[in-house]
Amino acid sequence: MSTEMTDVGDTEQSGQGRAATAGRAADPPRVELTAAQPPLSPSAQGSVAPRPWAVAPQATDAERDALLLLALAVEPGTSGVEAELGEFGAAETLQRLAAGVSPLARSRQPESASSGAGITASRGHRAADLRAACPPGVRIVLRGDPEYPTQLDDLEEPPLALWVRGPLDLRMAAMRSVAVVGARAASGYGLRVAHEMGLDLASREWTVVSGAAFGIDAAAHRGALGAPGPTMAVLACGVDIAYPRAHETLIAAIADEGAVISELPPGSAPLRFRFLARNRIIAALTRGSVVVEAAMRSGAVATANRASELARPLMAVPGPVDVVTSAGTNRLIQDGSATLVRDAGDVIEVILDRDGQPQDDTLPDEAEQVAAALGRRARSCQSIAARCQMDPALAVSMLGLLELRGRATRSASGWVSTSTAAVGAPP
């Protein structure tokens, strides 16, 4: 930790040259488009499955290829992509871009422009080549894929594609995730709290999402890795680049056990404006954001504001009133935009509380019958089945469902109702 503390002056701006010239990433992917894309109906794009265990309506291969090429060609977060996609679909948007008639033509990625590849319709790599050129261990999750986290659709300009390093399943991990963000120039107090919080959240299988930066970010990741539990780093550069360089081993450890993700193709440099775009992903991906320490004006507070805009619960850890690094968080609490939290327990409570949605009653009638037969006294499932005059196997299955809903629980000697009003039938 102490080495980072001495290195706090290192901002994105001063660090970018180093990382970009680090030579780890080979050439940026050359973005050249093939003209042979058949036009497709716009509706195929952006169809997103509402459930994690449901068959997602897959976009056609051509649409997916076009989406990938678009993700390579257009700087993430560019406004207008969504409108174009909605109107024309991915394949046609791509053709319009190549022909220069799209308003997006002005916002090509710096790498593709500077490498001279440009966007030409004549020469071209196909999407398949680009996939094959993906560094080993990196997978591409496109918008509409089963693994794509649907929370990101809340953004005005959701990422078209995510490059992922690591075993974590993005959609599943994002369903129970918390962003832990804060100052790079953190105090010992902030680092301690962030580490503890990362550890506690991860050991309860909440995914700790952060940006792998110095200070709070790194402390939260390290805490989660120590749990060991899920953690995810969202980078503002390609996933094959370790930025900041000093965190190369940390990022590798996250990629081993969790996931390192980016909406930028491998080889992209950590340019200053990309950090803001990255922050919006951290805010949207998670169920809530915690600011552990932040000065008055800082990137962490910016992330916090994005989270608020997206109607995600915003939380902050208070600090001493006379310390610069807690001025931002104290202010967030004071003006009521953030909830005061002390530890992981508080964080989970706030998220579940805010997120409380009414449970629609999908349980079958038999479940109600079984629920009625439960009481305060533990009963075996045979006796429950006998009371309901039901097949024991069916009764067991209904008990499993009731338990999931928190209406039944089992003790060492049988099943019990959790309802306080439960009277059940007399034994």
Partner 1 sequence: MNLARARGVVIEGIEAHLIEVEAHLSHGNPVMNIVGLADTAINEAGDRVRAAVLNSGARWPDGRITVGLSPAWLHKRGSGLDLAIAAAVLAADGQLPPPAVAEPVMFAELGLDGRTRPVAGAVVAAVAAVGAGREHIVVAGANQAEASLIPGLRVTGVARLADLIEGLTGRLPPGAQPLPEPDPPAPAGSRPELAIVDCEALDLSDVHGQPEAVHAMEVAASGGHHILLQGRPGTGKTMLAERLPTILPDLGDEDALTVTAIASVVGGLPGGLIRRPPFQAPHHTATLAALVGGGAGGQARPGQITLAHAGVLFLDEAPEFASSALEALRQPLESGRVCISRSGFTTELPARFQMVLAANPCPCGNAVGNARDCRCSSMDRRRYQRRLSGPLLDRVDIQLTVHTPRLDRWSAQQATTSASARARVVAARERATRRSLAAGLGSPLNARIPGRALRGELAPDSQAADLLAQAVRRGGLSARAADRTIRVAWTITDLEGRDRPGLSQVGAALALRGLGGQGEAT
Choose the stretch contacting partner 1; rule: CB under 8 A; options: 97-105, 113-121, 311-319, 356-364: 356-364
Whether 283 contacts 312, CB under 8 Å:
yes
Q: Is 100 near partner 1 (CB under 8 A)?
A: no
- Distance, CA of 124 to CA of 129 (rounded, Å): 10
Q: Is 128 near partner 1 (CB under 8 A)?
A: no
Q: Is 204 near partner 1 (CB under 8 A)?
A: yes
Residue closer to partner 1 (CB basis): 50 or 336: 50
Helix (H, G, I), strand (E, B) or coil at 418: coil
Q: Can you tell me which of 13, 188, 413, 425 binds partner 1, judged by CB under 8 A?
A: 413
Q: Dmax of the chain from CA atoms? A: 82
CA-based angle 74:34:109, to the nearest 5?
15
- In the bound complex, what is the minimum distance in angstroms from residue 109's beta carbon to partner 1? 29
Q: Is 96 near partner 1 (CB under 8 A)?
A: no
Q: Is 297 near partner 1 (CB under 8 A)?
A: no
Choose the stretch contacting partner 1; rule: CB under 8 A; options: 98-106, 244-252, 318-326, 393-401: 393-401
Q: Is 403 near partner 1 (CB under 8 A)?
A: yes
- Distance, CA of 194 to CA of 362 (rounded, Å): 39
- Distance, CA of 144 to CA of 57 (rounded, Å): 8
Q: What are residue 276's phi and psi, to 5 degrees?
A: -65, -40
Q: Is 153 near partner 1 (CB under 8 A)?
A: no
Residue closer to partner 1 (CB basis): 12 or 147: 147
Site string for partner 1, 224-243 (x = CB under 8 A): --------------------
- In the bound complex, what is the minimum distance in angstroms from residue 2's beta carbon to partner 1? 31
CA-based angle 150:154:158, to the nearest 5?
80
- In the bound complex, what is the minimum distance in angstroms from residue 379's beta carbon to partner 1? 12
Helix ranges restricted to H, 108-187: 110-114, 127-132, 170-175
The tokens describing 70, both together, are 């678009």
Distances in whole angstroms, Cα of residue 24 to Cα of each of 19, 238, 256: 9, 11, 18
Q: Is 334 near partner 1 (CB under 8 A)?
A: no
Choose the stretch contacting partner 1; rule: CB under 8 A; options: 181-189, 212-220, 238-246, 374-382: 374-382
Residue closer to partner 1 (CB basis): 83 or 363: 363
Q: Is 373 near partner 1 (CB under 8 A)?
A: no
Nearest-Å Rg of the Cα atoms of the chain is 25
Residue closer to partner 1 (CB basis): 180 or 186: 180
Count of residues engaged in binding partner 1, rule: CB under 8 A: 48
Q: Is 397 near partner 1 (CB under 8 A)?
A: yes
- Distance, CA of 330 to CA of 339 (rounded, Å): 10
The tokens describing 140, both together, are 């591409």
- Distance, CA of 161 to CA of 73 (rounded, Å): 11
Residue closer to partner 1 (CB basis): 174 or 250: 174
SS3 of the chain: helix, strand, coil, percent, to 5? 45, 10, 45
Q: Is 192 near partner 1 (CB under 8 A)?
A: no
Q: Can you tell me which of 312, 398, 417, 424 binds partner 1, judged by CB under 8 A?
A: 398
Query: In terms of DSSP bridges, do strands 161-165 and 138-142 run parallel, antiparallel, or are they unpaired?
Result: antiparallel
Distances in whole angstroms, Cα of residue 12 to Cα of each of 162, 176, 357: 21, 29, 39
CA torsion through residues 252, 253, 257, 263, sign: negative
Residue closer to partner 1 (CB basis): 115 or 397: 397
The tokens describing 275, both together, are 């950090």
Residue closer to partner 1 (CB basis): 311 or 321: 311
Choose the stretch contacting partner 1; rule: CB under 8 A; options: 38-46, 171-179, 262-270, 272-280: 171-179
Q: Which of 322, 5, 318 is nearest to 187 (CA)?
A: 5
Residue closer to partner 1 (CB basis): 3 or 359: 359
Note the residues at the interface with partner 1 (CB under 8 A): 51-56, 146-147, 169, 171-173, 175-176, 203-205, 348, 352, 355, 357, 359-360, 362-364, 367, 380-382, 392-394, 396-401, 403-406, 409-413
